[in-house]
């Protein structure tokens, strides 16, 4: 019996402040105008994407006290943007990256359930766990959390949020025959949650939302992050867009999910990826190199390496060799406010040196070559083939795609690659589900949700 063809899941990533988004190009639009968000979301919906995705930064990143050039365009609030997009789209999921460390469960549950109501069941939460004191200084309690506890806090936050969502069930609003009015059951919305991080009780203000529980995504690759995702997430925003790492990650997460008592297909792996299209392969490669050169300026190259070396590298020439000194893992962080995903600094430095040597690359060129998560480059037919083959061979279940050009970059993908994916039977031609959960093929938890102990 042949295995059915996997459907490619697609998310549209609207670049925030990172060096991938070339906001300074004359043809680029605003990073904050409603029209930019609207255009990207409408384009994604035209291409039958599963969801629109926003990353989040709670602080402007700094190097040695100066904010990054890219951050001067600011970081708008996620929920406000997603609520505005809900009004101009009909089927597209709305995924927001929201930190579990600095937010409170009651606020999160309320915002997400409200978004789920406003959008008729399209809300998703990408749970991230950045904990550092630099990020925390904007918030009530500063950098209060030991890094070792970031996922314990995330798990408890999520459990508390679920308890709040589950505090209402569908039967909590009943028709009263004698008065002809609808009444809430006496314990509707009552909740009590007590753990090491929170002791909360009361009544939740938002009745059960269309998805029951909005979709949960996670981003983070440490062993704790993987365990948290395997037990709790419906999907992972992964940094592994290239083989063989992507397939290793895929296998690892699916095995962990099964060990946690779940079905492998109940957690979707979605690497972040960029794409560059050309009429010929050679044209696409040329465009790709031009874009990478535009994205990775000498200053950006040094900043990206400083994140690994954790040293001031400003004395190094970006057009010269890779620094010959060792990283300094124990020093105070030189780059503030950036998630660090390279787990072993010494091994990464060694790899960069080997690549530079083998390919005869200077410092900036090695960053251009190595700091790219998984580019899809080629003719539309080649890119459609790359995406489909990657998914069918279990490198992932789909991709979260971002273009360097906000907000017009996605148009070309939707016009040229989407029809080819549809022809292959790898992408829907119409939305079939009524909620994001349905469209992603996730279990329906509207009625299955367990109602927690009532206060
Ligand atoms: C692909 C990817 C995207 C991420 N995006 C964000 C983000 O937008 N905002 C944020 O605060 N943290 C983001 N993070 C950071 C993680 O959520 C997490 O805080 C950090 O990587 C530490 O988790 P870990 O130790 O499990 O890797 C991202 C991480 C990854 C791997």
Average pLDDT over residues 264-287: 97
**Pocket flag, ligand 1, residue 239 (CB < 6 Å):** yes
CA–centroid distance, residue 319 to ligand 1 (Å): 30
Q: What is the pLDDT of residue 60?
A: 82
**Pocket flag, ligand 1, residue 55 (CB < 6 Å):** yes
Average pLDDT over residues 404-430: 97
Q: What is the pLDDT of residue 230?
A: 97
**Pocket flag, ligand 1, residue 219 (CB < 6 Å):** yes
Q: What is the pLDDT of residue 334?
A: 80
C-alpha 17/C-alpha 101 separation (Å) is 21
Q: What is the pLDDT of residue 17?
A: 64
Average pLDDT over residues 390-413: 96
The mean predicted confidence, pLDDT, of the chain is 91
What would the pLDDT profile of 60-96 be if each residue is shown by its tens digit?
887 777 777 767 677 789 999 999 999 999 999 999 9
Predicted TM-score (pTM) of this structure: 0.93
C-alpha 11/C-alpha 18 separation (Å) is 18
Residue 240 has pLDDT above 80, yes or no: yes
Residue 455 has pLDDT above 50, yes or no: no
Residue 450 has pLDDT above 80, yes or no: no
Q: What is the pLDDT of residue 347?
A: 93
C-alpha 84/C-alpha 76 separation (Å) is 12
CA–centroid distance, residue 232 to ligand 1 (Å): 16
- Nearest ligand 1 atom, CA 128: 17
Best residue for ligand 1 mutational test, from 59, 130, 242, 337 (most atoms within 8 Å of Cβ): 130
What would the pLDDT profile of 117-156 be if each residue is shown by its tens digit?
999 999 999 999 988 888 888 888 888 888 889 999 999 9
Best residue for ligand 1 mutational test, from 155, 271, 339, 343 (most atoms within 8 Å of Cβ): 339
Residue 31 has pLDDT above 90, yes or no: no
**Nearest C-alpha to atom 27 of ligand 1 is from which residue?**
220
Query: Which of 150-159, 211-220, 293-302, 414-423 has the lowest average pLDDT?
Result: 293-302
Residue 378 has pLDDT above 90, yes or no: yes
Q: What is the pLDDT of residue 454?
A: 37
- Nearest ligand 1 atom, CA 222: 26
What would the pLDDT profile of 188-228 be if each residue is shown by its tens digit?
899 999 999 999 999 999 999 999 999 999 998 899 999 99
Q: What is the pLDDT of residue 283?
A: 98
Q: What is the 3-state secondary structure (H, E, C) of the chain?
A: CCCCCCCCEEEEECCCCCCCCCCCCCCCCCCCCHHHHHHHHHHHHHCCCCEEEECCCCCCCEECCEECHHHHHCCCCHHHHHHHHHCCCCCCEEEEEEECCCCCHHHHHHHHHHHHHHCCCCEEEEEECCCCHHHHCCCCCCCCCCHHHHHHHHHHHHHHHHHHHCCCCHHHEEEECCCCEEEECCCCCEEEEECCCCEEEEECCCCCCCCCCCEEEECCCCHHHHHHHHHHCCEEEECCCCCCHHHHHHHHHHHHHHHCCCCHHHCEEEEEEEEEECCCHHHHHHHHHHHHHHHCCHHHHHHHHHHHHCCCCCCCCCCCCCCCCCCCCCCCCCEECCCCCCCCHHHHHHHHHHHHHHHCCCHHHHHHHHCCCCCEEECHHHHHHHHHHHHHCCCCCEEEEECCCCCCHHHHHHHHCHHHHHHCCCCCCCCCCCCHHHHHCCCCCCCCCCCCCCC
Best residue for ligand 1 mutational test, from 341, 372, 374 (most atoms within 8 Å of Cβ): 341
C-alpha 64/C-alpha 312 separation (Å) is 9
**Pocket flag, ligand 1, residue 128 (CB < 6 Å):** yes
- Nearest ligand 1 atom, CA 239: 1
**Nearest C-alpha to atom 21 of ligand 1 is from which residue?**
220
**Nearest C-alpha to atom 16 of ligand 1 is from which residue?**
220
- Nearest ligand 1 atom, CA 340: 21
Q: What is the pLDDT of residue 247?
A: 97
Q: What is the pLDDT of residue 449?
A: 42
Average pLDDT over residues 418-428: 98
- Nearest ligand 1 atom, CA 228: 26
Average pLDDT over residues 295-310: 90
**Pocket flag, ligand 1, residue 78 (CB < 6 Å):** no
Alpha carbon of 85 to those of 17, 36, 90: distances in Å?
Answer: 19, 11, 9
CA–centroid distance, residue 125 to ligand 1 (Å): 13
**Pocket flag, ligand 1, residue 97 (CB < 6 Å):** yes
Query: Which of 85-94, 305-314, 377-386, 415-424 has the lowest average pLDDT?
Result: 305-314
Handedness of CA 270, 155, 53, 49 (dihedral sign): positive
Query: Which of 56-60, 206-210, 275-279, 282-286 has the lowest average pLDDT?
Result: 56-60
CA–centroid distance, residue 150 to ligand 1 (Å): 12
Strand partners, 191: 202
CA–centroid distance, residue 217 to ligand 1 (Å): 11
Per-residue pLDDT band at 447 (split at 50, 70, 90): low
**Pocket flag, ligand 1, residue 227 (CB < 6 Å):** no
**Pocket flag, ligand 1, residue 270 (CB < 6 Å):** no
- Nearest ligand 1 atom, CA 272: 1
What percentage of the chain has pLDDT greater than the value 70? 95
Q: What is the pLDDT of residue 32?
A: 87
**Pocket flag, ligand 1, residue 135 (CB < 6 Å):** no
């Amino acid at each position: 019996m042949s295995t059915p063809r996997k459907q490619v899941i697609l998310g549209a990533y609207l670049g925030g402040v990172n060096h991938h988004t070339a906001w300074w190009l004359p043809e680029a639009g605003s990073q904050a105008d409603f029209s930019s968000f609207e255009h990207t979301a409408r384009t994604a919906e035209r291409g039958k994407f599963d969801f629109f995705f926003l990353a989040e930064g709670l602080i402007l990143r700094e190097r040695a006290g100066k904010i990054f050039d890219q951050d001067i365009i600011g970081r708008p609030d996620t929920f406000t943007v997603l609520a505005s997009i809900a009004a101009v789209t009909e089927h597209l999921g709305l995924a927001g990256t929201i930190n579990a460390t600095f937010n409170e469960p009651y606020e999160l549950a309320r915002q997400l359930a409200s978004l789920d109501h406003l959008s008729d069941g399209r809300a998703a939460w990408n749970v991230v766990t950045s904990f550092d004191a630099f990020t925390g200084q904007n918030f009530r309690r500063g950098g209060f959390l030991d890094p070792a506890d970031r996922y314990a806090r995330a798990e408890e936050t999520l459990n508390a949020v679920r308890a709040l969502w589950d505090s209402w069930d569908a039967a909590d609003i009943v028709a009263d025959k004698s008065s002809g009015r609808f009444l809430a059951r006496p314990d509707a919305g009552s909740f009590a949650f007590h753990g090491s991080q929170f002791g909360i009780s009361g009544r939740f203000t938002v009745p059960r939302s269309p998805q029951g529980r909005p979709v949960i995504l996670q981003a983070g690759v440490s062993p704790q992050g993987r365990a948290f995702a395997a037990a709790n997430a419906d999907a992972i925003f992964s940094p592994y867009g290239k083989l063989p790492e992507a397939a290793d990650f895929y296998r690892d997460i699916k095995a962990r999910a099964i060990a946690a008592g779940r079905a492998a297909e109940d957690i979707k792996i979605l690497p972040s990826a960029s794409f560059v299209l050309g009429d010929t392969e050679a044209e696409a490669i040329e465009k790709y190199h031009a874009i990478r050169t535009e994205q990775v300026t000498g200053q950006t190259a040094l900043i990206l390496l400083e994140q690994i070396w954790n040293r001031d590298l400003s004395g190094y020439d970006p057009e010269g060799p890779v620094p010959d000194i060792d990283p300094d893992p124990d020093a105070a962080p030189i780059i503030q406010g950036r998630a660090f995903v390279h787990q072993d600094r010494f091994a990464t430095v060694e790899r960069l040196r080997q690549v530079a040597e083998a390919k005869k690359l200077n410092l900036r060129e090695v960053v251009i070559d190595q700091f790219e998560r998984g580019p899809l480059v080629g003719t539309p037919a080649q890119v459609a083939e790359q995406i489909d083959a990657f998914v069918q061979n279990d490198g992932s279940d789909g991709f979260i795609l971002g273009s360097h050009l906000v907000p017009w970059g996605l148009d070309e993908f939707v016009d040229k690659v989407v029809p080819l994916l549809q022809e292959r039977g790898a992408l829907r031609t119409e939305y079939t589900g009524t909620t994001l959960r349905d469209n992603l093929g996730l279990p329906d938890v509207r009625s299955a949700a367990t109602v927690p102990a009532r206060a």
